[in-house]
Amino acid sequence: MKKLVLSTIPLLLANSAMASINLDDAGKVKAYGDFRLRMEIEDKSASGSDDEERERARIRARLGLKFKPNNEWGANIRLATNSDNSTSTNQDLSTDSSEKNAEFGLDRALIQYTPKKAPGLAVTAGKMSMPHENNSSQFWDSDQAIDGLSAAYVFRDETKGATKLTFTHGILNEGGFANDDDLFHGQVSYIAPDIKGVKLRGSVSATHLNIDDTYQAAEVLGISGRADYGDGRVAFDLYNTDSDDSHLGLVLQGRYKINKEVAVRAYYYYIEAFSMPADGRYSQNDFPSPGSYGVTNFKGVRLQLDYKLAKNTKVDLRLYSMEQIKSTGALSAELDSVTWGESFTDAISANEDKVRLQANLSVKF
């Protein structure tokens, strides 16, 4: 007999993996947060210029509250360092300047409704993380927020697995009396029943952005897949856009948990210049990025070693190494662009190669 049940739909879309502390006996109000100390060394080179190096220390601090006064309604508010920056809540350590200390502000603010009469449905509104399931944050950086409305419906069959349907309308830039920059996003996700210990899941998504015409990528199709077996995982994310050229984006991932404390992971990236929404305007910036946005037009690897120091405390060491796929001149020629600066976001890498070594210490509650 088929059975329709409510699968866990996390109230805190801001960070569903965060630990929390009950502030009342009934558990209706919870506090959560985390602190991360980061040290990194970076080296990059560009055509016609000398190599550049830098070292820096960075911090990220976030503090949030979750409310669930009844079984149907809930809310989530989170504050973070460097909240004015849409792509990164990291803050550089500097004794000579305290300007960024004033930017500890609103990072997430949302309300969620899970009606009793429609088990499996969750409607979320406010300032939230992008409701897009994938295996990396290349498509949409985890620090990037959207303001809008999202509805998710989850149903599970005891023999056929679980399916989740998500539809989202998000405002990216409120245009006042002019047109807003916004998006429409739909995704179907599926989790298959275990097959001899193998756990399979996948998703298909379609995204439409109403944005400035200077961007090449406004329509994006995505496919993601993942297989877990024992302590190992392999996964991929594949994206294709409506750009005439350089429209393919691919991320491959492998993970393995060596023991309770130690795990390793590796990623391979092939991200063409116009393969992400708005040409990388909202993409991840974990790799050294050329400007204030994400990063595209690169191929490279991310290697990572994770070590669990104690409960809710971990340290990791990461190596990011990347190379430019096409020169900015070649991209301009493909699109008959007069000048680079007039037509492209600074997410598109103009550097020939870059390397970043990073160490992170994270504590959360």
How confident is the model at residue 52, as a pLDDT?
A: 78
How confident is the model at residue 197, as a pLDDT?
A: 93
- Partners of 173 in the β-ladder: 181
Q: How confident is the model at residue 273 (pLDDT cuts 50, 70, 90)?
A: very high
Which residue's structure tokens are 């959207």? 146
CA–CA separation, 29 and 22 (whole Å): 6
CA–CA separation, 205 and 239 (whole Å): 9
State the amino acid at position 335 in one-letter form: L
Q: How confident is the model at residue 6 (pLDDT cuts 50, 70, 90)?
A: very low
State the amino acid at position 87 in one-letter form: T
Token pair, residue 290, equals 């050329």
- 318-335 pLDDT tens trace: 999 999 999 888 887 777
Asked if 81 contacts 60 with a C-beta cutoff of 8 angstroms, the reply is: yes
Which residue's structure tokens are 């109000």? 29
Residues in the chain: 365
Is the domain spanning 21-364 CATH 3.40.640.10? The answer is no
How confident is the model at residue 95, as a pLDDT?
A: 54
Average pLDDT on 92-110 reads 74
Highest mean pLDDT among 13-27, 157-171, 329-343: 157-171
Token pair, residue 79, equals 């504050």
Asked if 54 contacts 42 with a C-beta cutoff of 8 angstroms, the reply is: yes
Angle at 97 between CA 84 and CA 127, to 5 degrees: 10
Asked if 144 contacts 130 with a C-beta cutoff of 8 angstroms, the reply is: yes
pLDDT at 13 over 50: no
Comparing 165-169, 197-201, 292-296, the range with the smallest average pLDDT is: 292-296
Q: Cα–chain-centroid distance for residue 282?
A: 9
How confident is the model at residue 343, as a pLDDT?
A: 53
Q: Across the chain, what does the average pLDDT equal? A: 87
pLDDT at 181 over 80: yes
- 338-353 pLDDT tens trace: 555 545 667 888 778 8
Average pLDDT on 57-78 reads 94
Domain ranges (residues) in the chain: 21-364
CA distance readout (Å), 344 to 124, 207, 212, 240, 293? 33, 20, 11, 18, 12
pLDDT at 219 over 90: yes
How confident is the model at residue 26, as a pLDDT?
A: 84
- Partners of 189 in the β-ladder: 164, 203
